[in-house]
């Protein structure tokens, strides 16, 4: 698993996509490595060690969510991202906080299934080949046979079957149409949608699937498409469903990660009067999940004692100390992400593996256009982004999306019709496109 990566390797992997924020990268890298360290300990000691949950504090657009998203890609473990604002306290419309654990289990089920499918794929492909040969060379129908002719017919069918096998493996029959039986998917049953009922409609759907007999319908498909259908059927048949559920629950309990975004939106002083919806109430509901409890899912009970929680928030109108003391204690590591500087914008536009300037260049390359940003042009983009964030609403790196889209808007629109396929974006073009709208009276019309 990727948890065997050293903290330095994890930070290096994150550096390929995210500029700066070294303290946050270091904190998540250590948290991931600690999970691997815990697995090396004796069982009794392992139970006593709980994950050190993290709060990422910083304004919008500085990389909080991006760090979590990239970490999810890097770590081969169940991961879900949820917004705290989706939850409200019991009695009001909103999702039950336990649903995020159920979502995590479903992610783990998919992860384990993919791993098992990879393991049985070779055997499944062999079975698919045999089924395709059965369709191409049907076995004889049951009936009276002449003893002396039966052997001869069997040998003839065997030779024909082997000939078709060679053609099949050589890819010579991909366009040939065969008829196979495909299971008809029944429409899902949606009965409950109230808070706390998310899992019940899934359970009802499973119950109806067991009660209602499955219907199969014949379909005419080219062998190329039929192979995909049959491969899915055979891999599903070879997978041990009970083992999938057991492994998924074990994976969630020891390696699961939940990114709890917008935690500051449910943070604030306790209301002296009126309903305290989605503030103290949500925190009280979150507390047992973060502290460690058992959540019932359709795959079995799941303990959250060792699930790693990473919370994030801008904390403009509140501060982390406004959280309930009990919840604060469950997030011992706090990392403050810093505002992006002009040099940070410059690095964001050039250094990451899939930098924005590279994305736009590759998009327009599909039209045969060679879009190139000069150093002066990139510096102008960084200057404008930094200045707009400083003088207006600070939206961090998201400002670059708005500015770049504005700069290349005409090129993108006229791209298919351009006679000159080489386009150079320099400082003059950036100032021409952006300069007119950096005046405050026009800003609200064009800029986020």
Q: Which of 31, 26, 20, 67 is nearest to 332 (CA)?
A: 31
212 shares a domain with 236: yes
Q: Does residue 197 lie in a domain region?
A: yes
Q: Are residues 74 and 127 in the same domain?
A: no
What is the C-alpha to C-alpha distance for residues 37 and 398, in angstroms, rounded to an integer? 37
Do 128 and 214 have their domain in common? yes
Claim to verify: residue 240 and residue 127 sit in the same structural domain: yes
What's the pLDDT score for residue 249? 92
Q: How far is the C-alpha of 337 from the C-alpha of 21, rounded, in Å?
A: 6
Together in a domain, 163 and 229: yes
What are the tokens at 363? Answer: 């998009």
Residue with tokens 């002009």: 342
> What residues contact 185, with CB distance under 8 A and at least 6 apart?
none
> Quick check: is 417 in a domain?
yes
Pick out the chain residues at pLDDT < 70.
1-3, 88-95, 140-153, 183-216, 268-279, 436-448
At residue 268, the pLDDT reads: 61
Enter the tokens of residue 339. Answer: 């505002």
Has residue 430 been placed in a domain? yes
Per-residue model confidence as pLDDT tens digits over 297-311 = 888 899 999 999 998
Pairing of strands 422-425, 370-373: parallel
What is the per-residue pLDDT for 205? 54
pLDDT for 59 equals 81
Please compute, for residue 260, the number of CA atoms within 13 A of its CA located in the half-sphere on the CB side: 30
H/E run at residue 380:
helix 375-391
Task: Give a yes or no: residue 63 inside a domain.
Answer: yes
Strand 422-425 versus strand 216-222 pairing type: unpaired
For tokens 């982390």, name the residue: 320
CB atoms within 10 A of CB 169: 10
* Neighbour-count burial of 324, counting CB atoms closer than 10 A to its CB (0-12 exposed, 13-18 middle, 19+ buried): middle
- What residue has token string 């306290």? 89
Tokens representing residue 303 in the block: 């303990």
Total domains present in the chain: 3
Look at strands 300-303 and 294-297 and give their pairing.
antiparallel
pLDDT of residue 105: 92
Place of tokens 């991909």: 174
Q: Is residue 440 part of a domain?
A: no
Structure tokens at 222: 């080219």
Could you tell me the two tokens for 187? 């429409």
Domain boundary among 282, 310, 336: 336
How far does the chain reach from its first CA to its final CA, in angstroms? 41
Which residue, 336, 361, 392, sits at the end of a domain? 336
240 shares a domain with 159: yes
Q: Smallest Cα–Cα separation from 6: which of 32, 27, 24, 25?
A: 32
Q: How far apart are CA 35 and CA 256, in angstroms?
A: 10
What pLDDT does 272 receive? 47
Last residue of one domain, picked from the residues 244, 261, 288? 244
**CA-derived radius of gyration, the chain:** 29
Q: Which residues pair with 371 in a beta bridge?
A: 423
Question: CA angle at residue 379 from 377 to 385, to 5 degrees?
Answer: 105
**Shared-domain flag, residues 167 and 233:** yes
Q: State which residues form the domain around 431.
A: 342-435
Within 10 A of 205 (CB to CB), how many other CB atoms are there? 17
pLDDT in tens, 100-159: 899 999 999 988 988 888 888 888 888 888 888 887 777 766 555 555 556 666 777 777
| Distance in angstroms (rounded) separating the CA atoms of residues 353 and 18 | 9
CATH code for the domain of 415: 1.10.8.60
Other beta carbons within 10 angstroms of residue 256's beta carbon come to 26
Structure tokens at 241: 């469903």
pLDDT at 262: 84
**What is the per-residue burial (b if ≥16 Cβ within 10 Å, else e) of 41-79?**
eeeeeeeeeebebbbbbbbebbbbbbbbbbbbebbebbb
Q: Could you tell me if 59 and 8 lie in one domain?
A: yes
pLDDT, position 185? 60
335: which 2 tokens? 């990392």
**Alpha carbon distance 271, 249 (integer Å):** 38
Q: Within a domain: residue 263?
A: yes
- Does 300 share its domain with 398? no
- Nearest-CA neighbor of 345 among 391, 406, 405, 387? 387
State the CB neighbour count (10 A cutoff) for residue 436.
10
Q: Does some domain include residue 443? A: no
| Assigned domain for 113 exists | no
- Same domain for 237 and 274, yes or no, is no
**222 shares its domain with 266:** no
Q: The domain that contains 23 carries what CATH number?
A: 3.40.50.300
Same domain membership, residue 235 and residue 138: yes
Cβ pair 340, 289 in contact under 8 A: no
What are the distances in angstroms from CA 296 to CA 50, 91, 243, 245, 300?
21, 20, 18, 13, 6
């Amino acid at each position: 698993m990727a948890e065997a990566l050293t903290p330095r390797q994890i930070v290096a992997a994150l550096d390929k996509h995210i500029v700066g924020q070294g303290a946050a990268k270091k904190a998540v890298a250590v948290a991931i490595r600690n999970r691997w360290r815990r697995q090396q300990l004796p069982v009794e000691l392992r139970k006593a060690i709980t994950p050190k949950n993290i709060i990422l504090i910083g304004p919008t657009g500085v990389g909080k969510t991006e760090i979590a998203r990239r970490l999810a890609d890097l770590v081969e473990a169940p991961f879900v991202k949820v917004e705290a604002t989706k939850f409200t306290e019991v009695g009001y419309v909103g999702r039950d906080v336990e649903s995020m654990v159920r979502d995590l289990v479903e992610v783990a089920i998919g992860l384990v299934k993919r791993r098992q499918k990879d393991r049985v794929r070779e055997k499944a492909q062999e079975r698919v080949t045999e089924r395709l040969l059965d369709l191409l060379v049907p076995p004889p129908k049951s009936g009276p046979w002449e003893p002396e002719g039966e052997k001869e017919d069997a040998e003839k069918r065997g030779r024909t079957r082997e000939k078709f096998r060679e053609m099949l493996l050589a890819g010579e029959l991909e366009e040939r149409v065969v008829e196979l039986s495909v299971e008809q998917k029944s429409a899902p049953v949606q009965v409950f949608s109230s808070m706390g009922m998310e899992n019940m409609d899934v359970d009802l759907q499973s119950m109806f699937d067991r009660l209602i007999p499955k219907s199969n319908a014949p379909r005419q498909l080219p062998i190329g498409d039929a192979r995909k259908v049959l491969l899915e059927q055979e891999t599903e048949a070879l997978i041990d469903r009970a083992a999938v559920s057991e492994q998924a629950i074990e994976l969630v309990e020891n390696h699961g990660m939940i990114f709890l975004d917008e935690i500051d939106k449910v943070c604030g002083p306790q209301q002296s009067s009126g309903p305290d919806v989605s503030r103290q109430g949500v925190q009280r509901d979150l507390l047992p999940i973060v502290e460690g409890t058992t959540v019932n899912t359709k795959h079995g009970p799941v303990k959250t004692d060792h699930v790693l929680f990473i919370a994030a928030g801008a904390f403009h109108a509140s501060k982390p100390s406004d959280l309930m003391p009990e919840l604060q204690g469950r997030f011992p590591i706090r990392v403050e992400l810093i505002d992006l500087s002009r040099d940070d914008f410059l690095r964001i536009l050039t250094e990451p593996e899939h930098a924005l300037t590279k994305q736009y260049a590759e998009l327009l390359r599909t039209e045969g256009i060679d879009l190139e940003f000069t150093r002066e042009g990139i510096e102008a983009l960084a200057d404008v982004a930094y200045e707009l964030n400083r003088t207006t609403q600070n939206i961090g790196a998201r400002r670059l999306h708005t500015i770049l889209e504005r700069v290349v808007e005409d090129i993108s629109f006229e791209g298919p019709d351009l006679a000159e396929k080489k386009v150079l974006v320099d400082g003059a073009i950036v100032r021409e496109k952006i300069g007119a709208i950096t005046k405050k009276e026009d800003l609200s019309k064009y800029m986020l």
